[in-house]
Amino acid sequence: MRTAIVTGGASGIGLALVRALAGRGVSVTVADLAEPAGPPAGKVEFARVDVTDAEAVAALVGRVSAERGRLDFMFNNAGIAVGGTALEMTREHWDRAIDVNLRGVVHGVLAAYPVMARQGFGHIVNTASLAGLVPAPLMLPYTAGKHAVVGLSLALRAEAAAHGVRVCVVCPGFVDTPLLDNANPGLPATRIGSAARQVIGRAPGRLYPADALAADVLRGIARGRAVIVAPASGRLAWRLARLWPGGAVRVARLAAGLASGPDGRSPGGG
């Protein structure tokens, strides 16, 4: 039976991935700080793990691969939303975003890649963001970390192929997940961060369903994609950023102005 570990698998994109994998007969270990609400059907177990703890992640990977005799998928998906203007955010915002969104991925890679290289197969799937491909203001620590995850993933993909290990990076646009309701968790509040859903909007079609994204991810994995971008609006933004970087920055500047308001405050004040 194929085996997968999904970090941050208790909610949002991670939980959607767990459901999709379990539905395809994969044995899944959910690694998170909180258990899923309503455990998914299928062969799914929960392990309480903090991805910022490198030893804990390594221990989990070692246990799962030893007990199951293999590790087919490592989904480094855990992440937090950190938002606000560059003038609002402190070093604490930066440290937390980097610890979870970047180092959490690094810890998963350091644990899983050697296992997969020894067995001669496996797939590492790192969750970044559309913010890792295009200019994304009002969340600089988040954006910087996600760009780093994209670079890490593509560079590792080039190395790992020699060992039979595949690597890809997932770059979702705005997805309807609890992440948007919990910006800056445990961090000083910011005007933009505390109004994340107001800034993005609740209009139909603006937020992509997590289950649809999970299906896109598994389809992209099956097709051997290096970068998986969804929904279609995200792919359009990515193409714009590649073909016309200056134009992408202009669009981002306009979006930042609309979100912040003329005086740098989020809609509705704060």
Mean pLDDT confidence for 2-24: 97
Q: Is 147 a member of any domain?
A: yes
Q: Is 203 a member of any domain?
A: yes
Q: Is 95 a member of any domain?
A: yes
- Whether omega before 39 lies within 30 degrees of 0, making that bond cis, reads no
Residues 133 and 229 sit within 8 Å (Cβ to Cβ): yes
The string of pLDDT tens digits covering residues 104-136 is 999 999 999 999 999 999 999 999 999 999 999
List strands edge to edge, sheet with 3-7: 44-48, 27-32, 3-7, 73-76, 122-127, 165-172, 227-230
Q: Is 265 a member of any domain?
A: no
Q: At 102, which CATH number?
A: 3.40.50.720
The string of pLDDT tens digits covering residues 240-267 is 999 999 999 998 898 888 766 544 444 3
Q: Is residue 69 exposed (0-12), middle (13-18) or buried (19+ Cβ within 10 Å)?
A: exposed
Q: What DSSP string runs through 232-245?
A: HHHHHHHHHHHH-H
Q: What is the CA radius of gyration of the chain?
A: 18
The string of pLDDT tens digits covering residues 167-188 is 999 999 999 888 877 888 889 8
pLDDT at res. 263: 46
Residue of 73, 75, 113, 142 with catalytic role: 142
Enter the DSSP assignment of 172: E
Give the residue from 90, 97, 20 showing the smallest Cα distance to 51: 97
The string of pLDDT tens digits covering residues 79-108 is 999 999 999 999 999 999 999 999 999 999
- Kindly indicate the confidence band of residue 268, based on its pLDDT and cuts at 50, 70 and 90: very low
Q: Is 270 a member of any domain?
A: no
Tell me how far apart the alpha carbons of residues 118 and 165 are, in angstroms, rounded to a whole number. 10
Amino acid at 112: A
Q: Is 107 a member of any domain?
A: yes
The string of pLDDT tens digits covering residues 132-170 is 999 999 999 999 999 999 999 999 999 999 999 999 999
pLDDT at res. 193: 59
The string of pLDDT tens digits covering residues 18-42 is 999 999 999 999 999 999 887 788 9
Range of the structural domain that residue 118 is part of: 3-260
Residues 6+ apart with CB under 8 A from 88: 190, 191, 192
Q: Is 267 a member of any domain?
A: no
The string of pLDDT tens digits covering residues 41-62 is 899 999 999 999 999 999 999 9
Residue 113 is a catalytic residue: no
Three-state DSSP state, 7 = strand
User: How many distinct structural domains can be found in the chain?
Assistant: 1
Q: Is 168 a member of any domain?
A: yes
pLDDT at res. 229: 98
